[in-house]
Amino acid sequence: MTAALRDRLAGYAFVGPFLLVYAAVLIVPLVMGIVISLHRADLFGRREWIGLDNYAQALGDPVLHQAFGNTVLLAVLIVPPLTVIALLLALALNRPGKFAAVLRGVFFSSLVLSVTIVTLIWRFILTPDAGLIAEGLEAAGRAPIPFLSDPDLVIPAIAVTTLWWSLGFPVMLILAGLQQVPGDIYEAAALDGAGRWTVLRRITLPAIRRTLLLVVMLQTAAQLQLFGQAQLLTGGGPGGASRTIVLYIFEVSFGRWELGYATAIAELLFGMIIALTLLQYWLVTRHEEPRA
Partner 1 sequence: MIGRALAFGFAGLLAGCAPADDRPEIVVQRFFGECGAAYGESTDVAAADTECGILTTLINRFEAENPDIRVKVNVVAWPGYPQLAAQIAAGDPPDLVTMHQSVISDYAGAGLIEPVEPLLAAARIDPAAFTPAARAGVEKEGRLYAMPWDTIGRLWHINTALMAEAGLMRGGKPVLPNSPEELLAHARQFRERTSKPYLIQAQVSAPDFHVALLYTYLLAQDAVIFPDARHIRLDTPQARAIVTVLRQLNAEGLTTLNQDFPAATAAFIQGEGGIFPVGTWMLGPYDAEAARSNSPLHGNYAVAPFPRLWGEEASFVDGHAWIVPAARRSPAERAAMARFLGFLAKYNYDWSRTGQLPAFAQVVESPAFRALPHRADIAALARTGKQLPGYVERQSAVQGLIGEELEAAITGAKPVDTALKDAERRVNRLYAQMM
Partner 2 sequence: MKGARLHPLVVMALLLGAGVMLAPMVWTLLLSFKSNAALMADSGAAFSGPYTLENYAAILKGSLTLQWLANSLIVATGATVGVLVLSSLAGYGFARLEFPFRRTLFVIVLLGLAVPEQAVILPRHQLFAMLGLHNSYPGLILPSLTGSFGVFFMTQYFRAIPKELDEAALLDGASRFTLFWKVLLPLTFPAQATLGVFTFLAAWNDYWWPLISATTSDRFTLTVGLASAQMNYAQTSGLGFLMAQAVFASIPILVVYIAFQKQIVRAMAGTAVR
Binding to partner 2 (CB under 8 A): which residues in 1-30? 7-15, 17-19, 21-22, 25-26, 28-30
- In whole angstroms, the minimum distance from the beta carbon of 171 to partner 1 comes to 24
- Residue of 186, 227, 257, 281 interacting with partner 1 (CB under 8 A): 257
> Would you give the binding string for partner 1 spanning residues 48-67, x where CB under 8 A is met?
x-------------xx----
Could you tell me if 33 and 267 are in contact, meaning their C-beta atoms sit under 8 angstroms apart? yes
Residues 44-83 that bind partner 2 (CB under 8 A): none
- 121 or 218, CB closer to partner 1? 121
Integer angstrom CA distances of residue 57 from 2, 25, 66, 136, 251: 58, 29, 14, 47, 16
Q: Between residues 26 and 59, which has the closer beta carbon with respect to partner 2?
A: 26
Q: 154 with 147: CB under 8 angstroms?
A: yes
**What residues contact 141, with CB distance under 8 A and at least 6 apart?**
none
Total of residues contacting partner 2 (CB under 8 A): 93
Backbone dihedral angles phi then psi of residue 49, each to the nearest 5 degrees: -65, 125
**Mask for 112-141, x = binds partner 2 (CB under 8 A):** xxxxxx-xxxxxxx---xxxx--x------
Residues, the chain? 292
Identify residues 193-212 at the interface with partner 2 (CB under 8 A): 196, 199, 204, 210-211
Which residue number, 174 or 259, has a Cβ lying nearer to partner 1?
Answer: 259
Selection from partner 2, partner 1, none that 65 binds (CB < 5 to 8 A by kind) is none
Is 125 a residue that touches partner 1 (CB under 8 A)? no
| Residue with Cβ nearer partner 1 (68 or 107) | 68
Identify residues 138-177 at the interface with partner 2 (CB under 8 A): 164, 167, 172-173, 175-177
Q: Which of residues 21-50 bind partner 1 (CB under 8 A)?
A: 40, 42-44, 46, 48
Q: How far is CA 107 from CA 83, 131, 156, 205, in A?
A: 14, 23, 21, 22
Report the alpha-carbon angle 32-34-35, nearest 5. Answer: 65
Q: Which entry of partner 2, partner 1, none binds 261, CB below 5 to 8 A by partner kind? A: partner 1
Tell me which of 83, 110, 149, 280 binds partner 1, using CB under 8 A: 149
Considering only residues 226 to 245 of the shown chain, the ones binding partner 2 according to CB under 8 A are 227-228, 232
Write down the least CB distance from residue 130 to partner 2, Å: 3
Q: Which does 237 bind (CB under 5 to 8 A by kind): partner 1, partner 2, none?
A: partner 1
CB of 48 or CB of 192, closer to partner 1: 48
- Cβ of residue 257: shortest distance to partner 1, in angstroms? 6
